[in-house]
Amino acid sequence: MDSRSLEFLKTLLDTPGPSSYETLPARAWRAQAGGFAAEVTADVSGNSFATLNPAAAPRVMLAGHIDEIGVMVTYIDDDGYLSFDTIGGWDHQVFVGQRVQLLGHGGTVSGVIGKKAIHLMEKEDRDKVSKAGDLWIDIGAATRAEASARVRIGDPGVLASAVLEFPNGRLVSRSLDNRVGAFVVLEALRLLAQDPPAARVTAAATTREEISTTGGGARAGATGLAADVAIVVDVTHATDYPGLEKRKHGDYRLGSGPALTRGAAINPVVFDLLVATAEAERIPYTIEAAPRDTSTDADNVFTALKGVATALVSVPLRYMHSPNEMVALEDLDRTARLLAGFARRVTAQTDFVPR
């Protein structure tokens, strides 16, 4: 990976932006896009767009959601302790003993998640799983008034962690799901800017995927762009660590390249063109089955407008929805190259109707 791209990726990953509060990473994404895109815009849903060939057709959308899971302040007690709830799907056991960054109205506020010490617990309570409702955030305030001067009800936050680089090209971060999707689509656009396609291509950093049941930012984004074809980039569970049954969960490994989904919400013409692109450019890939739904933005983009020819391309990820998710950098490169190669094959004559 280009060193400048890697530095941008690390900045993007460390910038807090839980669902519905994606402003900071979106701002960084648009600033990066301004270096090579013909147009850079945003919409009222918080989506960000970077476009090449604005007047061309057909309209290709490359979409990765830029939000991450997080927490939200729900109550401040008389002693200044903060109650919180989850933004997105968490394993609540992860919260115990963590540090947090809250996005307060005056800036970032540091806190720690508190729990009764094990020494003070009754024996029968020691083996119970902690829930968010049993915990609290301590920001060092002594009173409600002192805490309220720094945070308000509804302020969001993320667990405080920074990017780590591991051997074998592994990258660790709390926000790989799915900040890497937003990164990959922009990286694909950067590659396309060096060798422009015939089609109009828009990279989209979409919002609210982690909490959406009605389309989130992706549906609004696809509608606003009037997309003809869309590739949604997300992450999928790597199954290359102990204890996972591959007959049930499939075989997806770090370093095995992008996973191409077949089934629900997937246009078969787009899928076949992705496969042809991968094989022509010698990009390794795996195939993932989706017999009912994909549980990604592909489900929402597919049914936008009168229907959008949609595919889902996923990056294998270990330890999803934890403070220490892990990907292989080579899989990000391969996915970006696949998207760029696909976009170059799309022309005004490409027919996406399954026949």
Q: Among the options 209, 210, 288, 325, which is catalytic?
A: 209
Closest to 335 (Cα-Cα) out of 199, 191, 188: 188
Concerning whether 209 is annotated as a catalytic residue, the answer is: yes
DSSP classification of residue 125: G
Question: Contact at 8 Å (CB) between 221 and 22?
Answer: no
Question: Contact at 8 Å (CB) between 56 and 346?
Answer: no
- Whole-angstrom distance, CA of residue 234 vs CA of residue 190: 19
Q: H/E/C letters for each residue in 201-227?
A: EEEEEECCHHHCCCCHHHHHHHHHHCC
Instruction: List all residues 6 or more positions away from 163 whose beta carbon is below 8 Å from its beta carbon.
Output: 10, 13, 14, 171, 172, 173
Where is 259: in which H helix or E strand? strand 259-263
C-alpha dist (Å) from residue 109 to 4, 34, 102, 147, 205:
29, 30, 5, 10, 26
Question: Contact at 8 Å (CB) between 20 and 211?
Answer: yes
User: Judging by DSSP bridges, how do beta strands 48-52 and 39-42 pair with one another?
Assistant: antiparallel
DSSP classification of residue 127: T
- The set of catalytic residues is 209
